[in-house]
């Protein structure tokens, strides 16, 4: 399973829907992520409500791409980004491997 940092901004239509019918989108999103074999941690708005940020766990990149395509097709979320996260333990292995490949920066 991989963890992803998901960030997005609602369009004016998205905001209009939330203002007209205030509700917690976490309740609606959780079963969709679970249907893809994933786990939904939580989502948060930034302080100015300009951006929505969430952490999810999904079995593979294809599941993440499927979710992203579904969200993007709704026209209520703009500027959606989905970044795969690397654990600090995996980063140590990555750094060890990077140190062994012999890369030379430009002189």
How many C-beta atoms lie closer than 10 Å to residue 36's C-beta?
A: 16
Residue 47's pLDDT is what? 85
Kindly give the parts of the chain with pLDDT less than 70: none
Residue 49's pLDDT is what? 78
Residue 60's pLDDT is what? 96
Residue 50's pLDDT is what? 83
Query: Which two tokens mark 19?
Result: 């203002």
Letter string b/e over residues 83-101, b meaning 16 or more CB atoms within 10 A of that residue's CB: eeeeeeeeeeeeeeeeeee
What are residue 106's phi and psi, to 5 degrees? -60, 145
Residue 1's pLDDT is what? 92
Note the pLDDT tens digit of each residue in 83-102: 999 999 999 999 999 999 98
């Amino acid at each position: 399973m991989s963890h992803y940092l998901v960030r997005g901004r609602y369009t004016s239509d998205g905001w209009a829907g939330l203002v007209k019918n205030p509700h917690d989108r976490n309740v609606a999103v959780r079963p969709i992520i679970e249907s893809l074999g994933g786990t939904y941690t939580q989502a948060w708005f930034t302080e100015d409500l300009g951006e929505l940020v969430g952490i999810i766990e999904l079995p593979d990149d294809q599941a993440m791409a499927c979710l992203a395509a579904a969200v993007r097709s709704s026209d209520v979320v703009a500027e959606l980004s989905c970044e795969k996260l690397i654990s600090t333990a995996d980063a140590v292995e990555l750094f060890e491997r990077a140190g062994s490949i012999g890369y030379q920066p430009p002189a």
